[in-house]
Amino acid sequence: MKYPSRAGRAVVLGTAAIVVATLCARQINSADQGEQQTARLVAQMIPAFHLSQRPIDDQISAALVDGYVKELDPQKLYFLQSDVDQFHRSRTALDDSLATGNIDFAFQVFDVYKQRVIAQCEVAHKLIDAEHDFTTQDEMIADPDDRTWATTTDELNERWRQWIKRELLEYRLDDKPVEEARTELHKRYRNIKLLRIDQQQSMDTLETYLTEVAQCFDPHSSYMSPATWENFEISFKLSLDGIGAELRPDDGYTIVHSVVAGGAADKDGRLKPNDKILGVGQATGEIVDIFEMKLNDVVRMIRGKSGSIVRLQVKPADGGETQVYELTRAKIELTAQAVKGEIIETQDRVGRPGRVGLIHVPSFYRDFEGAQGGGDFKSAAADVAQVLRQFEQQGVDVIVVDMRSNGGGALAEAIEMSGLFIDQGPVVQVKDEQGNIEALRDERPGVATGKPVIVLCNRLAASASEIFAGVIKDYHRGLVIGDTTTHGKGTVQNLMDVTNSPVFNRLLQRQQQLGKLKLTIQQFYRVNGDSTQNRGVRSDVVLPSLIDHADLGESFLDNALPFDQIPAARYSPNMFVTPELVALLQRNSEERVSHDKEFGELQTVIARYLERKNRKTVSLNEAVARSERDKETADAESEALMGEEESETGAKKDAPVFPENFYNDEVLNIALDYVSALRSSATAAKK
């Protein structure tokens, strides 16, 4: 997403976009002079340029200790309580150390981690070959946050016994032979030692540590080493080559966050959101186990030239058996990501007369090079304008803009698209690290349509989507419906060279680069003064949704910046939407949903999901685990009917824009209620 920035052109870096390169091998024991210089400069730049303007002090020092330890050992499977106690002696000292470029703490902690990984991987290999009784009522703590650090080696080894038993149980549930399970798990723990210890370089440790420093300020800031940045530039240019899936880390696993419309995975159709990728292989050779591998390294393995083959070992989210998907890497067809519109005759869908204009907006795309050259260029706002012209010619009663799972894009597109629905005025406010506030405006007079508008969102609607939804809501131009709230990402990141002066920066270009800082430097605010950060944009009418109960969104990230407010901009809202109208639509929708059989089944699925989510332990009894697997599979089949999952098919080439299902049909009913209420108000006003 391109944002305004006084520090330079802003670049949004997806979590799955960075590729880590391995530098020449050398012993990891301390930082060299260049690494110390990098640390000192990073410690100077973060307080100077970060939006919060916080100093690196004792509070940041304490958070750094906790964050670095958690980054290395998120499952609490390696460090002992005595190790952590030793680390905590530095809780108020790291700020002073960073100021001088001293990062010995990073290497000292990693040395302990190295010893623990080597020892526990040996334990793991023995446990893999041991016999386990899957008929006992054995269980393990589910959430690592609920675990304490092991106080003795025996306690730690018992934790590993449960961990390995759970992994073997997963193979049993897939009806895999025990020898196959043992072979694959042995390979997994050989790879963990190889990737985490044997191939770990000094710069890798520095990068991890300085990223943790940055993320003490907010979760979107980070440090990139020169090698990482070099490979990122390459991957950014090839950003449309690959399988077309956004990935995220979760408890050591690599999870599919979303599947990009038009990409290889989307065309193949098998890879789904929340699937676990367990291994990656090329066209030939073995599939490499990627459990607890850095996401950057996983991305490096998956990326490749268009036309080449990648094999993914996938554990489906629905609880099915592990499978290997062979995918052909390809460029994403931008036509599959484009805005699409259609007119829905509601009599055929919900038994009530009406014409609903549906616009699916998968992202706020913009061809920046084409825009600079003048003439026609690819633009989400221009495509929406074209659809609106068609709606005006053919006649519709109300317009639904489907923004579900739209992660954002170009800010200019959000402003221009908002201008299609509102007359001239501010669209979004931006505050920088100095506290300066600027209102970015729609400068074009007039609107493309005067029809009532509904914006349909979910927890995955973020950034530019939240700006658009906020505009429609604040101007009372229309309704926002869907999940309780949107994602809540209301910050702007920018890339900066690690340097202390422009002159020094020019010298670095000829000599040694010290990497890049990705820092949060600005924050978005709605025209009413509320930030979109953390809280997102709340829906006027909320519909039941499983994704609404998942831990998705800014508020679930460590060190996320809080919601705050600034003075409202000067704008003139209209009266399309009133509190009385919203209350009426809420009551009508709740009445229909409460009597709808399929929504009732969805509520049952949600209740079972929450039960599993809130469960404190995981059973290691095969009969119990198999029963749970069967329930999860049945629930996954019911989830396929959910509106937000179905909405993703709207981006596919030959799929309907707004598929028929109970969720989408309720959206149509709300839209018809909205039109009816507006007509009744207009009639009453004339009398």
pLDDT band for 640, please (50, 70, 90 cuts): low
pLDDT score of 226: 87
Q: In this model, does residue 24 exceed pLDDT 60?
A: no
The tokens describing 334, both together, are 């931008």
Q: Distance (Å, rounded) from C-alpha 570 to C-alpha 554?
A: 28
Average confidence (pLDDT) over 589-616: 94
pLDDT score of 336: 57
pLDDT score of 341: 96
| Residue 555 per-residue DSSP state | G
Task: Give pLDDT tens digits for 471-510.
Answer: 999 999 999 999 999 999 999 999 999 986 544 444 444 4
% the chain with pLDDT above 70: 86
Lowest mean pLDDT among 15-19, 182-186, 341-345, 452-456: 15-19
Q: In this model, does residue 677 exceed pLDDT 90?
A: yes
Q: Distance (Å, rounded) from C-alpha 274 to C-alpha 269?
A: 14
Average confidence (pLDDT) over 440-457: 95
The tokens describing 204, both together, are 């890798």
Q: In this model, does residue 216 exceed pLDDT 70?
A: yes
Q: Distance (Å, rounded) from C-alpha 113 to C-alpha 309?
A: 36
Do the bridges between strand 491-497 and strand 478-482 make them parallel or antiparallel, or are there none, so unpaired?
unpaired
| Residue 530 per-residue DSSP state | B
The tokens describing 74, both together, are 């998120």
Q: In this model, does residue 263 exceed pLDDT 70?
A: yes
pLDDT score of 523: 97
Q: Which residue has the higher pLDDT, 290 or 24?
A: 290
pLDDT score of 10: 32
* pTM for this prediction: 0.82
Is residue 463 annotated as a catalytic residue, yes or no? yes
Instruction: Name beta bridge partners: 494.
Output: 519
Average confidence (pLDDT) over 515-540: 96
Task: Give pLDDT tens digits for 46-67.
Answer: 999 999 999 999 999 999 999 9
Is residue 687 annotated as a catalytic residue, yes or no? no
pLDDT score of 375: 61
Q: Where in the chain is the domain with CATH 3.90.226.10?
A: 334-491+522-686
Q: Where in the chain is the domain with CATH 2.30.42.10?
A: 241-331
Instruction: Write the Ramachandran bin of 617: left for phi over 0, alpha for psi from -120 to 50, otherwise beta.
Output: beta
Q: Which residue has the higher pLDDT, 29 or 51?
A: 51
Task: Give pLDDT tens digits for 87-110.
Answer: 999 999 999 999 999 999 999 999
pLDDT score of 548: 94
The tokens describing 390, both together, are 């068609």
Q: Which residue has the higher pLDDT, 237 or 404?
A: 404
% the chain with pLDDT above 90: 67
pLDDT score of 330: 84
Q: In this model, does residue 641 exceed pLDDT 60?
A: no
pLDDT score of 236: 46
Q: In this model, does residue 601 exceed pLDDT 90?
A: yes
pLDDT band for 638, please (50, 70, 90 cuts): low
pLDDT score of 413: 95
Marked catalytic residue, from 138, 474, 548, 665: 474
Is residue 652 annotated as a catalytic residue, yes or no? no
Lowest mean pLDDT among 153-157, 313-317, 367-371: 367-371
Q: Distance (Å, rounded) from C-alpha 456 to C-alpha 539?
A: 9
| Exposed e or buried b per residue across 211-242, where buried means at least 16 C-beta atoms within 10 angstroms of its C-beta | bbbbbbbbbbbbbbbbbbbebbeebeebeebb
pLDDT score of 509: 47
pLDDT band for 632, please (50, 70, 90 cuts): confident
Q: Which residue has the higher pLDDT, 81 or 409?
A: 81
pLDDT band for 338, please (50, 70, 90 cuts): confident
Question: To the nearest whole number, what is the mean pLDDT of the chain?
Answer: 87
Please say whether the dihedral angle defined by the alpha carbons of residues 126, 127, 129 and 133, taken in this order, is positive or negative.
positive
Pick from 535, 486, 478: nearest CA to 644: 486
Marked catalytic residue, from 451, 489, 516, 518: 489
Marked catalytic residue, from 363, 405, 463, 545: 463
Yes or no: say if 216 and 560 are a contact pair by the CB < 8 Å rule: no
Q: Tell the CATH topology of 241-331.
A: Pdz3 Domain (2.30.42)
Q: In this model, does residue 20 exceed pLDDT 70?
A: no
Q: In this model, does residue 430 exceed pLDDT 70?
A: yes
Q: Distance (Å, rounded) from C-alpha 16 to C-alpha 400?
A: 31
Q: Tell the CATH topology of 334-491+522-686.
A: 2-enoyl-CoA Hydratase; Chain A, domain 1 (3.90.226)
Q: Distance (Å, rounded) from C-alpha 655 to C-alpha 650?
A: 6
pLDDT score of 258: 77
